[in-house]
């Protein structure tokens, strides 16, 4: 079917689901991987010499707020799960279908269906119709569903449909209009703040409802020690729950807000250093399953404002890979686990046959120089806006070439 010649990549180091990278290559035909390891190109193949680079599964970015192809390409992201919080909310099949097409031909966009109409948190949206229009999971959006009755109905319905529910965990009653985590930093800056326990409260409720309904629940971001403990205990009890994080919450604490820099205004807000350490421990012990970018490019009209008036969010697609590779250098995780967090687990969560290198899997690949040094510069980003809290941070690791379905992207 494919108009493109089969692809053979040689001379690389394969990032496999287990163990250390293995010297070798792979061969793709008809969008899929057909051979792995010691491969020989066949006549008519396009042959690429990886020259020792890592051959890794393309990153599956779970929960982005904008489709930003240049940034995803820069960051080695081949699939992006799009949050329903769009100007036209993804709460109808037509909107989902349109969003699912929007990445073609060089990016997979997997729309996440809005759990409730208009993301208002009360009435269920047409979830089955949206599933059949291409929605890969259901998300509550940027906000928590405050009504426990509505959340209960949502989880039981999604359990029936076999859809994962991706929840935002912050008790809205406790959070109010807060823009920071209660603590000395917020007090010094005079910023409206809420206790970190707002997250644990929301996690505890949703875990109880997930246990009750048997629904498959994923928390997009779990950022505090108390809520990570809850997730850890729930997993031990056998509840089908997973947890995600973005690099901001394992790299930064609320100290980063000290100069009122709005690029550090995130949702949930940055936490204390003790919570950041708990996140690192949870990455190491397997409590956290997914690292995503939370990519949310925001221009000056949203960010060049006083801290509390600015919109939350950061452009994270470009820094996702190097900051996750940094965890390997810091001895928190190994390379195989890094790609489970970046690709394998999110792909499984979305039910797509990608995210790992294996025969029969979709040939979404990225060639990576894991040591290449570069400087994050908010003035020169590939993303549509440069709102990164990591401006001027020296990092290591860069995607060299990206392939979707065995075809190079961005050529």
Partner 1 sequence: MDDLLQEIEAFCARNGLSETRFGELALRDKPFVSQLRTGRDLRASTALRLRQFMAEYGVNPPVSAALPNADRYPAGSAAFPHRHLTGVAGLAPWEILFLLDEAEQWVDLNRSASKRDDRLRGLTIINAFFENSTRTLLSFEIAGKRLGADVVNMHAAQSSVKKGETLIDTAMTLNAMRADAMVIRHASSGAVQLIADKVDCPVLNAGDGQHEHPTQGLLDALTIRRAKGDFGKLTITICGDILHSRVARSNIHCLTTLGADVRVCAPPALMPTGIEGMKVTPYSDFDAALDGADVVMMLRLQQERMSGQFIPSPREYRHLYGLTLERLAKAKPDALVMHPGPMNRGIEIDSNVADLAGRSAITTQVEMGVAIRMACLDVLTRKARGLEGWA
Cα separation of 336 and 54, whole Å? 11
- Minimum distance, C-beta of residue 288 to partner 1, in the bound complex (Å): 26
Residue from 83, 99, 151, 186 that binds partner 1 (CB under 8 A)? 186
Q: How many CB atoms lie within 10 A of CB 129?
A: 14
- Minimum distance, C-beta of residue 187 to partner 1, in the bound complex (Å): 4
The helix/strand/coil state of 353 is coil
Cα separation of 113 and 139, whole Å? 6
Residue from 83, 130, 182, 248 that binds partner 1 (CB under 8 A)? 182
The 224-263 contact track toward partner 1, x by CB under 8 A, reads -----------------------------------xx---
- Minimum distance, C-beta of residue 380 to partner 1, in the bound complex (Å): 21
Of 87 and 177, which has the nearer Cβ to partner 1?
A: 177
> What are the distances in angstroms from CA 161 to CA 2, 39, 154, 165?
33, 41, 11, 11
Q: Which among 110, 105, 112 is positioned nearest to 402, based on CA atoms? A: 105
- Minimum distance, C-beta of residue 319 to partner 1, in the bound complex (Å): 24
How many chain residues touch partner 1 (CB under 8 A)?
24
Residue from 20, 304, 329, 392 that binds partner 1 (CB under 8 A)? 304
Of 340 and 387, which has the nearer Cβ to partner 1?
A: 387
Of 190 and 410, which has the nearer Cβ to partner 1?
A: 190
> What are the distances in angstroms from CA 67 to CA 24, 81, 180, 255, 391?
33, 9, 27, 30, 22
Instruction: Copy the structure tokens of residue 141.
Output: 């959006």
Question: Rule CB under 8 A: which of 319-348 touch partner 1?
Answer: none
256: CB partners within 8 A, 6+ apart: 264, 270, 389
Indicate whether 299 belongs to the interface with partner 1 (CB under 8 A): no
Cα separation of 397 and 402, whole Å? 14
The 152-181 contact track toward partner 1, x by CB under 8 A, reads ------------------------xx----
Of 191 and 225, which has the nearer Cβ to partner 1?
A: 191
Cα separation of 243 and 220, whole Å? 6
- Minimum distance, C-beta of residue 193 to partner 1, in the bound complex (Å): 7
- Minimum distance, C-beta of residue 300 to partner 1, in the bound complex (Å): 8
Of 107 and 310, which has the nearer Cβ to partner 1?
A: 310
Q: Which among 235, 236, 197 is positioned nearest to 216, based on CA atoms? A: 235
Burial of 267 (0-12, 13-18, 19+ CB in 10 A): middle
- List contacts with partner 1 (CB under 8 A): 176-177, 182-193, 195, 259-260, 301, 304-309
């Amino acid at each position: 079917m494919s108009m493109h010649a089969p692809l053979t990549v040689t001379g690389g180091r394969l990032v496999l689901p287990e163990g250390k990278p293995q010297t070798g290559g792979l061969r793709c035909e008809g969008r899929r991987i057909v051979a792995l390891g010691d491969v020989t190109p066949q006549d008519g193949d396009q042959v690429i010499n990886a020259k020792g680079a890592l051959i890794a599964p393309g990153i599956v970015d779970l929960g982005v707020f904008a489709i930003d192809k240049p940034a995803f390409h820069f960051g080695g992201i081949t699939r992006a799960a799009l949050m329903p919080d769009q100007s036209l909310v993804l709460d109808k099949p037509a909107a989902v279908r349109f969003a699912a097409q929007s990445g073609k031909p060089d990016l997979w966009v997997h729309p996440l269906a809005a759990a409730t109409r208009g993301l208002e948190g009360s009435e269920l949206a047409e979830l089955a119709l949206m599933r059949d229009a291409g929605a890969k999971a259901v998300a509550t959006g940027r906000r928590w569903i405050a009504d426990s009755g509505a959340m209960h109905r949502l989880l039981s319905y999604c359990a029936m449909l076999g859809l994962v529910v991706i929840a935002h965990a912050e008790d809205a009653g406790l959070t109010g209009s807060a823009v920071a985590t209660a603590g000395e930093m917020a007090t010094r800056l005079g910023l409206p703040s809420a206790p970190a326990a707002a997250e644990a409260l929301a996690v505890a409720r949703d875990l109880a409802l997930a246990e009750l309904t048997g629904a498959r629940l994923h928390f997009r971001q779990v950022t505090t020690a108390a809520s990570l403990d809850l997730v850890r205990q729930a997993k031990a009890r056998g509840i089908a729950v997973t947890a995600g994080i973005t690099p901001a919450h394992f790299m930064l604490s609320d100290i980063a807000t000290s100069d009122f820099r709005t690029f550090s205004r995130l949702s949930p807000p940055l936490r204390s250093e003790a919570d950041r350490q708990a996140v690192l421990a949870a990455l190491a012990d397997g409590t956290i399953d997914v690292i995503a970018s939370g990519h949310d490019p925001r221009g000056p009209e949203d960010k060049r404002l006083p801290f509390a008036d600015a919109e939350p969010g950061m452009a994270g697609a470009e820094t996702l890979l190097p900051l996750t590779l940094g965890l390997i250098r810091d001895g928190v995780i190994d390379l195989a686990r890094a790609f489970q967090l970046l690709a394998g687990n999110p792909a499984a969560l979305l039910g797509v046959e990608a995210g790992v290198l294996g025969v029969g899997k979709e040939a979404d690949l990225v060639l990576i120089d894991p040591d290449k040094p570069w400087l994050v510069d908010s003035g020169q980003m590939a993303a549509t806006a440069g709102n990164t809290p990591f401006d001027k941070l020296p990092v290591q690791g860069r995607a060299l070439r990206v392939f979707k379905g065995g075809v190079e992207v961005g050529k």
